[in-house]
């Protein structure tokens, strides 16, 4: 399966603004396995002072934080949703972000592109980043 080319994406200036404005990041697909990219990225972001909210179908805590089973279960606002899921899951993720009503950033990690979902998120007022690693982009600032 070939990755779509992102037709909806933020530029470097917008990415800098994203990291200056977000504090609470829900990490969808945050694995408890320290060798997985989702764990490494979340740990890095946590070490940089961001509050990480793990979203994963199992576990009670990851990186010392309470795990939620879905974005809808999180009982407080999140600024950004950092997505480690397959591209076809992004439509449901965009819908969940819109339903939550307060998500500012829809971020699909490296290798993850779904232009229809990204456009839906953008149309709902979110900033969108696709096919980029939040850790790599933050480090480059």
Residue 69 lies in a domain: yes
pLDDT at 26 over 70: yes
Q: Are the C-beta atoms of 28 and 92 separated by less than 8 Å? A: no
Residue 112 lies in a domain: yes
**Model confidence band, residue 3 (pLDDT cutoffs 50, 70, 90):** low
Residue 140 lies in a domain: no
Element (H, E) at 68: none
- From 16, 22, 127, 14, select the one nearest 77 (Cα to Cα): 22
Domain that holds residue 67: 20-134
Residue 139 lies in a domain: no
Read off the pLDDT of residues 111-122 as tens digits, 9 standing for 90 and up. Answer: 999 999 999 999
The mean of the pLDDT values for the chain is 95
pLDDT score for 1: 42
Residue 96 lies in a domain: yes
12, 42, 66 from 53: Cα distances, Å = 25, 9, 7
Domain total in the chain: 1
pLDDT at 2 over 80: no
Q: Can you give the CATH number for the domain in which 36 is found?
A: 3.40.50.720
pLDDT: is 3 or 76 the higher one?
Answer: 76
């Amino acid at each position: 399966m070939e990755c779509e080319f992102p037709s909806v994406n933020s530029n470097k200036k917008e990415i800098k603004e994203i990291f200056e404005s977000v504090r609470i990041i829900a990490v969808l697909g945050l694995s408890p396995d320290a060798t997985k990219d989702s764990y490494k990225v979340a740990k890095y972001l946590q070490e940089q002072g961001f509050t990480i909210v793990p979203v994963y179908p199992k576990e009670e805590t990851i990186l010392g934080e309470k795990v939620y089973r879905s974005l809808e279960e999180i009982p407080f606002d999140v600024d950004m949703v950092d997505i480690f899921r397959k591209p076809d899951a992004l439509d449901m993720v965009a819908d969940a972000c819109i339903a939550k009503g307060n998500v500012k950033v829809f971020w699909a990690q490296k290798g993850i592109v779904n232009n229809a979902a990204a456009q839906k998120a953008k149309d709902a007022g979110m900033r969108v980043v696709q096919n980029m690693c939040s850790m790599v982009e933050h480090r480059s600032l």
